Amino acid sequence: MSLPRVGVSACLLGEEVRYDGGHKRSSALTGIVGVEWVAVCPEVEVGMGVPREPVALIAGRMVSSKSGTDHTDAMNRFAAERIAALGALDGYVLKSRSPSCGLVDVPGGPDGSGLFAAVLRRLRPDLPIVEESALDEDRQRRAFLDAVAAHFRSR
């Protein structure tokens, strides 16, 4: 029997992929069972490496904070290709405030989102998407998981 497939920012599962070599394991995710997690780290997968210079979004451009290297075009190309390659998904959990994965309130981001999140939203408008910070509240976690289950049943 297959399970709903849910994309997730890899750092939230405890993978040490952040710019400083750390992770942001989310306790809200550890209690969720009955889904197949599909881990993605856009910054590592686009070739930035670990550790790496931190990046910021400046007027919608993803720029390394020290060298000034612009990763925008590479990230946008990667995001479109990676999202297509993920195949069927029933939901996605993104890392809040990330210049790649943040969904809302990302300074300098397109429509307030990180670059990967903006492409995900554009290419998969029907997909239930949430930031990990929203899953800390039981009501929001249940609503997200209900939406994931409904999406799974519909495909």
Report the run of H or E that residue 132 belongs to, with start and end.
Answer: none
Give tens-digit pLDDT for 44-87: 999 999 999 999 999 999 999 999 999 999 999 999 999 999 99
Q: Tell me the pTM.
A: 0.96
**Cβ–Cβ < 8 Å for 82, 119:** no
H or E segment to which residue 83 belongs: helix 72-85
Secondary structure (3-state) at 123:
helix
Residues 136 and 10: their CA atoms lie apart, in Å, by 18
Domain boundaries, the chain: 5-154
Give whole-number Cα distances, 98 to 55, 103, 105, 132, in Å: 9, 8, 10, 11
- What tens digit of pLDDT does each residue of 93-151 get? 999 999 999 999 999 988 899 999 999 999 999 999 999 999 999 999 999 999 999 99
